[in-house]
């Protein structure tokens, strides 16, 4: 009998231990240790073959997760429950994450391939000295459109999109800064405007665009435009490049009122558990051949000068996607407008989305 009681006690105790361990594991979803690395990136933003190659080369297993906006990514990292070893925010998000203590400084001695990056992408104001971030892709926001579907019209400006003939023809990228920004730019205001009157005006102007807006979508925007489900898309330049590669009837234009110039960069968030592996991954992505392969696969423009040698000339000489820095004078980089202002942009974007329903 006694034996039976102690057996019961042992089983009881063991199940407690199991429960506790599984609770711990749940608390930190994604358990990067020495041999795993959790990478948090935008959707459709890496050649999966490169992940395989990295795993083979290093013996590190990659857990790959995606997000579709800087806002969603920052919220998840700030929350802290999940391990992320590498993330890929845009510039204003990097500035905000730095401010909130969400980033770990990089060890440049572990990133020898940083020398391949064109210096014009280094030492930018959101991260002097690249203390926390190194360039991944860059580009603009603009309009990709199918002239055949709109009676041969040429689009050159944001204001062209309000044309009554374009009913139900426009797809918008699902991004608060991008959509509010296009409202602001169409009124000749700055993309970093913090005047609430101007912002309200931009929101009202966007509401008037509603009859022309077919949908606000994520990465499926590419497929929809390639398949000619709509004539016009407001997109990031790399998506436009990818779309045009699949359907060359479309063209891409950066509107004349001005637009956004953006830089996405790799960082190591505070949630990292495998800091050594994170540096290895970042350095791997900075390798010119890997960077070229990645650019070719996703369609975005690489800041890696040496990688350009491995890409077709038709790609690197296409001024729509590799504009000269002199010619991007009317473009603005998003600034970190502070927690409250960024929340206000998100709020207006949400209201605009609701207005459509
Ligand atoms: C790729 C998203 C690119 C983000 N799907 C541009 N900042």
Quick: pLDDT tens for 141-188. 999 999 999 999 999 999 999 999 999 999 999 999 999 999 999 999
Q: Would you state the pLDDT for residue 6?
A: 61
Ligand 1, atom 6, residue with closest C-alpha: 236
**92 marked as binding residue:** yes
Q: Would you state the pLDDT for residue 28?
A: 45
Q: Would you state the pLDDT for residue 208?
A: 97
Among 93, 175, 236, 239, say which to mutate for ligand 1: greatest number of ligand atoms within 8 Å of CB: 236
Q: Which range, of 60-64, 234-238, 324-328, 352-356, averages the lowest pLDDT? A: 324-328
- CATH code for residues 139-261+327-356: 3.40.190.10
Among 87, 233, 238, 298, say which to mutate for ligand 1: greatest number of ligand atoms within 8 Å of CB: 238
- Options 3.90.1150.10, 3.40.190.10, 3.90.320.10, 2.60.40.10; CATH for 2-138+264-316 is 3.40.190.10
* Residue 27, pLDDT above cutoff 50: no
Q: Give the model confidence (pLDDT) of 82-126 as tens digits.
A: 999 999 999 999 999 999 999 999 999 999 999 999 999 999 999
> Would you place residue 34 in the very low, low, confident or very high pLDDT band (cuts 50, 70, 90)?
confident
Euclidean distance between CA atoms 111 and 117, whole angstroms: 11
> Would you place residue 355 in the very low, low, confident or very high pLDDT band (cuts 50, 70, 90)?
confident
Higher pLDDT, 202 or 12: 202
Domain 2-138+264-316 and domain 139-261+327-356, same fold? Reply is: yes
Residue by residue, DSSP assigns 4-68 as: HHHHHHHHHHHHHHHHHHHHHHHHSBS---TTEEEEEEETT-S-HHHHHHHHHHH-PEEEEEEES
Euclidean distance between CA atoms 38 and 272, whole angstroms: 8
| Residues facing 173 on adjacent strands | 217
What mean pLDDT value characterizes the chain?
A: 93
Instruction: Using the atom order of ligand 1, give the atom closest to the CA of residue 219.
Output: 5
Residue extents of the structural domains in the chain: 2-138+264-316, 139-261+327-356
Euclidean distance between CA atoms 41 and 22, whole angstroms: 27
174 CA from centroid of ligand 1 (Å): 11
* Residue 325, pLDDT above cutoff 90: no
Q: Give the model confidence (pLDDT) of 248-299 as tens digits.
A: 999 999 999 999 999 999 999 999 999 999 999 999 999 999 999 999 999 9
**Percent of the chain surpassing pLDDT 90:** 88
Question: Structure tokens of 77?
Answer: 């990292």
């Amino acid at each position: 009998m006694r034996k039976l009681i102690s057996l019961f006690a042992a089983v009881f105790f063991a199940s407690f231990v199991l429960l506790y361990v599984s609770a711990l594991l749940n608390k930190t979803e994604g358990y990067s240790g020495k041999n795993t690395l959790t990478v948090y990136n935008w959707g459709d933003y890496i050649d999966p073959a490169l992940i395989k190659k990295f795993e083979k080369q290093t013996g590190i297993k990659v857990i790959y997760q995606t997000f579709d906006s800087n806002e969603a990514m920052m919220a998840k990292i700030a929350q802290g429950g999940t391990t992320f070893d590498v993330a890929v925010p845009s510039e204003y998000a990097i500035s905000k994450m730095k401010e909130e203590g969400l980033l770990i400084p990089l060890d440049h001695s572990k990133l020898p391939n940083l020398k391949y990056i064109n210096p014009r992408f280094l030492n930018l104001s959101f991260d002097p000295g690249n203390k926390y971030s190194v360039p991944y892709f860059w580009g603009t926001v603009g309009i990709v459109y199918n002239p055949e579907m709109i009676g041969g019209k040429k689009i050159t400006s944001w204001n062209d999109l309000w044309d009554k003939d374009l009913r139900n023809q426009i797809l918008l990228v699902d991004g608060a800064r991008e959509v509010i920004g296009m409202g602001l730019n169409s009124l000749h205001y700055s993309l970093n405007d913090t005047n609430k009157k101007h912002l309200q005006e931009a929101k009202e102007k966007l509401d008037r665009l509603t009859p022309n807006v077919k949908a606000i979508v994520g990465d499926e925007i590419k497929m929809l435009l390639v398949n000619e489900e709509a004539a016009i898309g407001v997109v990031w330049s790399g998506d436009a490049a990818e779309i045009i590669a699949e359907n060359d009837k479309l063209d891409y234009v950066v509107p004349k009122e001005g637009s956004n110039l953006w830089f996405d960069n790799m960082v190591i968030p505070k949630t990292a558990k495998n800091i050594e592996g994170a540096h290895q991954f970042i350095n791997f992505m900075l390798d010119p051949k890997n960077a070229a392969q990645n650019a070719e696969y996703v369609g975005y423009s690489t800041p890696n000068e040496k990688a350009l040698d491995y890409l077709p000339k038709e790609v690197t000489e296409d001024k729509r996607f590799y504009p000269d820095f002199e010619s991007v004078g009317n473009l603005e980089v998003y600034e970190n407008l502070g927690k409250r202002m960024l929340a206000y942009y998100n709020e207006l974007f949400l209201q605009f989305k609701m207005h459509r329903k």
